Amino acid sequence: MANVVVVGSQWGDEGKGKIVDWLSERADVVVRYQGGHNAGHTLVIDGVSYKLALLPSGLVRGGKLSVIGNGVVVDPHHFVAEVDKLRGQGVEITPENLRIAENAPLILSLHRELDAIREGSNTGLRIGTTKRGIGPAYEDKVGRRAIRVVDLADTDTLMPKIERLLSHHNALRRGMGLEEISADAMFEELTSVAADILPFVDQVWRLLDEKRRAGARILFEGAQGALLDNDHGTYPFVTSSNTVAGQAAAGSGMGPGAVDYVLGITKAYTTRVGEGPFPTELDDEIGEYLGVTGKEWGVNTGRKRRCGWFDAVIVRQTVKTSGINGIALTKLDVLDGLKEIKICVGYELDGQKIDYLPASMGAQAGVKPIYETLEGWSETTAGARSWAELPAQAVKYVRYIEELIGAPVAMLSTSPERLDTILVHDPFQD
Ligand code: GDP
Ligand code: IMO
Ligand code: MG
């Protein structure tokens, strides 16, 4: 039985939610393994739209086990709100179908506040974060002072942990002229949410091992995209976790051998939300057209996404850094009706041609895309459910992308709807 990792191969919002939902029919377990509620994954089923941020997309399809792994940062207040919202849409959520890793770190109010203050200040670098407290929470995890989900179960030992965390944060807050936080107030905050979260807590490493031994198919749901990876992305304009496929193992407590197939979700053009380099960004009416036609507004923050042509350089690099076996190409329909379509096949940097995204911030900002121009198609691909329905020029475009990135198209998506999907190669049958 194959286990599949779904990862974003660009700057996020490639359509991971739709593809995870589609694939989850064939899976038994769906696992989130990094990020937090900075993600915004959209599922559209029979015209009804579901927007998930922290919860795995597998929840919407009944009868599947969904898991929030240790690599995720969990905001307990947000958790309660998202569970309520989805239940309001008729989605069943119980400790039977949702588990949270006991060793996942918590996002607390002070993380959210710090994220927002940094983003709002005139000094330092603006990343354009989602202001969800993701970065500060991961900093505390790596700094070995985080409060973790399991700590909520033992109120007797919670106070010294809170004091250790606050000795760091209150020093920071004094320096920024902010009011200090009292240990009692934080104790109150944590104990008030404990009862909502503790019923879902489990030893996820053991649960997944048991499932795997029993022959279950596991689907790992990545958040963000490879270019937002803390190591491999456009640093420092990245998120604070590893988003590449290798993180699926560490962020869930399984060994790397648990992963059989990596599916890179890839938009047929490129978008990015937040600050940072974007070589193929279009500041013209075509960029505007892609944004309007593709409805490129953030799921969570409502921010307008920046749009541009497909960049084969970055996806080719992602195929390597995530070990992508095949891609799911999404939003091909958004290109319907364009006379000409450009693809970035390489970069120019200081008069030299290069075939990769350089690591330095200055060089990333300085690369100029080298384009090839393809003829567009006037027919519609929207809603196509078979390869035979695609116009010849669209097939040419897809084939050229495969050639440039060095990975085959395993799935093709032609609308937001669950069923408007073409399966070329089943990742679970690898
Ligand atoms: P994610 O973060 O990768 O899950 O992606 P988002 O949900 O943030 O953004 C993708 C958007 O594109 C959502 O609104 C989806 O409903 C929509 N979408 C997904 N696949 C397709 C497609 O093939 N065509 C079109 N037109 N929209 C799509
Ligand atoms: P999904 O899973 C697109 C971006 C933010 C910002 C940077 C850091 O829906 O694809 P953070 O709040 O993580 O510290 O912000 O990362 N970002 C995303 N962009 N899709 C996402 O998730 C994102 N999650 C974070 O806009 O540039
Ligand atoms: Mg998204």
Active site members: 13, 41
**Ligand 3 geometric centre to CA of 112 (Å):** 19
Six token digits for residue 135: 């970065």
How far does residue 299's CA lie from ligand 2's centre (Å)? 11
pLDDT at residue number 235: 98
Cα separation of 14 and 31, whole Å? 18
Ligand 3 centroid to Cα of residue 171, in Å, is 35
> In this structure, which residue's CA is closest to atom 18 in ligand 1?
416
Which one of 307, 330, 332, 412 would you pick to mutate in the ligand 1 pocket, going by the greatest count of ligand atoms within 8 A of its CB? 330
User: If you classify domain 109-197 with CATH, what class do you get?
Assistant: mainly alpha
**pLDDT at 301 > cutoff 90:** no
- Does the pLDDT of residue 10 top 80, yes or no? yes
Beta carbons of 327 and 410 less than 8 angstroms apart: yes
Residues having CB closer than 6 A to ligand 1 are: 8, 12-18, 40-42, 44, 265, 295, 299, 330-331, 333-334, 413-416
Half-sphere exposure of 409 toward its Cβ, with a 13 Å CA cutoff? 24
Structure confidence at residue 124 (pLDDT): 77
The SS3 assignment for 132 reads coil
Dist. CA 218–CA 5, nearest whole Å: 8
Confidence of residue 1 (pLDDT cuts 50, 70, 90): low
CB 378 within 8 A of CB 337: yes
Q: What is the pLDDT of residues 321-368, one digit of tens each?
A: 999 999 999 999 999 999 999 999 999 999 999 999 999 999 999 999
Ligand 2 centroid vs 237 CA: distance in angstroms? 10
- The count of residues in the chain is 430
252, amino acid identity: S
Q: Whole-angstrom Cα distance, residue 141 to residue 160?
A: 16
Q: Which CATH number fits domain 4-104+200-261: 3.40.720.10, 3.10.105.10, 3.40.440.10, 3.40.47.10?
A: 3.40.440.10
For the chain, give every domain's residue range.
4-104+200-261, 109-197, 266-429
With H, G, I as helix, E, B as strand and everything else as coil, classify residue 362.
helix
Domain 266-429 architecture: Alpha-Beta Complex (3.90)
Ligand 1: residue whose CA is nearest its atom 28: 416
Burial label for 360, CB within 10 Å (0-12, 13-18, 19+), is: exposed
Q: Nearest residue CA, atom 11 of ligand 2?
A: 129
**Rounded distance between C-alpha atoms, residue 100 and residue 223, angstroms:** 16
Nearest bound ligand to CA 335?
Answer: 1
Give the pLDDT score at 125.
86
Cα–Cα dist 17/20, whole Å: 5
Enumerate helices (H) and strands (E) in the chain, giving the number of each.
12, 18
**72 Cβ neighbours under 8 A, 6+ residues apart:** 32, 33, 34, 35, 36, 54, 101, 104, 251
The number of CA neighbours under 13 Å toward the Cβ of 160 is 3
Q: Which ligand is nearest to the CA of 269?
A: 1
Topology agreement, domain 4-104+200-261 and domain 109-197: no
